[in-house]
């Protein structure tokens, strides 16, 4: 279960923060670290600050986009000190977030995403997430160091795992009741865009309409069965249009 919980660091500037984050992860039983375009990696400073968690640093995977880092995940929670910057479901309490994350991790990979030291996550990156979470902090000074934010959320995750309800020890959910992966959702939205354009509903790619529909489906959280129903509907609309 804990091995299904991934920590993703986006374009980390200071390699020391990678090491300190690895240490924070290992203390809480997490090992899956993915780095999106780190400025310096591998780096001796990262290994030095890992202080015994070098295995987590050495085992990190490096990818070139957040999309790639989370494609197989069913829940992707972006950590942000900024409140409700986009219309994604928002967890005000890390505890509630961690309980949900742990419950999904029983069956599928999930991710916690952390932004750059200087300017956090871009709006496009937040759009790759299914949810946002903020660590409640001093309103006048509420931004934590990157690795300390990792520590707080890793701690909450470990706590939720320790205290998980007994029902989550044995049962795994049937595949169709599980959440779709980010990649499956992306394919659905691409399909929806194709149908909207082919039908003349949109005359050209329209980012705003697409973003609104993405927000709608992010709130609705369709499961795999519901998503395949929607794909079937889109296919049938396409077929009836070409049959005319
Ligand atoms: N200056 C940046 C903050 C960067 S701190 C900004 O304005 O967004 C580096 C990362 O640590 C953030 O991107 C976020 O993922 C995490 N972080 C820091 N403080 C946090 C908080 N209070 N709640 C949630 N995440 C936080």
CATH code at position 122:
3.40.1280.10
127 and 42 in a common domain: yes
151 and 71 in a common domain: yes
Q: Which atom of ligand 1 is nearest to the CA of 143?
A: 19
Separation CA 224–CA 230 (nearest Å): 10
Pairing of strands 110-114, 61-63: unpaired
108 and 67 in a common domain: yes
Domain CATH code at residue 231 = 1.10.8.590
Mutation test of ligand 1: which of 79, 84, 137 has the most ligand atoms closer than 8 Å to its C-beta?
79
> Concatenated DSSP letters for 165-194?
-THHHH----GGGSPPPHHHHHHHHHHHHH
> Which residues does ligand 1 sit against, CB inside 6 Å?
79-82, 114-115, 117-121, 134-135, 137, 142-144, 146, 149
Which pLDDT tens digit goes with each residue over 181-198?
A: 999 999 999 999 999 999
Number of domains in the chain: 2
Mutation test of ligand 1: which of 149, 150, 154, 157 has the most ligand atoms closer than 8 Å to its C-beta?
149
Rounded mean pLDDT, 199-213: 85
Separation CA 35–CA 31 (nearest Å): 13
Strand, helix or coil at 214? helix
User: How many CA within 13 A on the CB side of residue 241?
Assistant: 14
Lookup: tokens for 145: 């160091």
83 and 157 in a common domain: yes
205 and 96 in a common domain: no
138 and 47 in a common domain: yes
Range of the domain at 227: 175-243
At 87, the pLDDT band (50, 70, 90 cuts) reads confident
**Confidence at residue 172, expressed as pLDDT on a 0 to 100 scale:** 78
Query: What strand order describes the sheet that includes 110-114?
Result: 61-63, 32-36, 5-10, 110-114, 75-79, 131-133, 90-91
127 and 17 in a common domain: yes
156 and 180 in a common domain: no
129 and 101 in a common domain: yes
């Amino acid at each position: 279960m804990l091995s299904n919980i991934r920590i993703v660091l986006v374009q980390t500037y200071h390699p020391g923060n990678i090491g300190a984050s690895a240490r924070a992860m290992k203390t809480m039983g997490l090992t899956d670290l993915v780095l999106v375009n780190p400025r310096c990696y591998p780096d001796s400073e990262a290994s030095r600050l890992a202080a015994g968690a070098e295995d987590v640093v050495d085992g990190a995977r490096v990818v070139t986009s957040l999309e790639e880092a989370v494609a197989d995940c069913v829940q992707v929670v972006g950590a942000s000190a900024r409140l409700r910057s986009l219309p994604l479901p928002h967890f005000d309490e890390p505890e509630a977030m961690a309980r949900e994350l742990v419950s999904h991790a029983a069956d599928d990979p999930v991710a916690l995403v952390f932004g750059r030291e200087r300017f956090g996550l871009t709006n496009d990156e937040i759009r790759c997430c299914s949810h946002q979470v903020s660590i409640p902090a001093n309103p006048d000074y509420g931004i934590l160091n990157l690795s300390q934010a990792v520590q707080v959320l890793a701690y909450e995750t470990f706590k939720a795992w320790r205290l998980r309800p007994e029902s989550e020890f044995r049962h795994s959910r049937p595949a169709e009741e599980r959440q779709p992966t980010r990649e499956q959702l992306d394919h659905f939205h691409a399909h929806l865009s194709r149908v909207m354009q082919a039908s003349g509903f949109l005359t050209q790619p329209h980012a705003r309409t697409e973003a609104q529909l993405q927000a709608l489906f992010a709130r609705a959280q369709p499961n795999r069965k519901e998503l395949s129903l929607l794909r079937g509907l889109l296919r049938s609309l396409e077929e009836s249009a070409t049959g005319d």
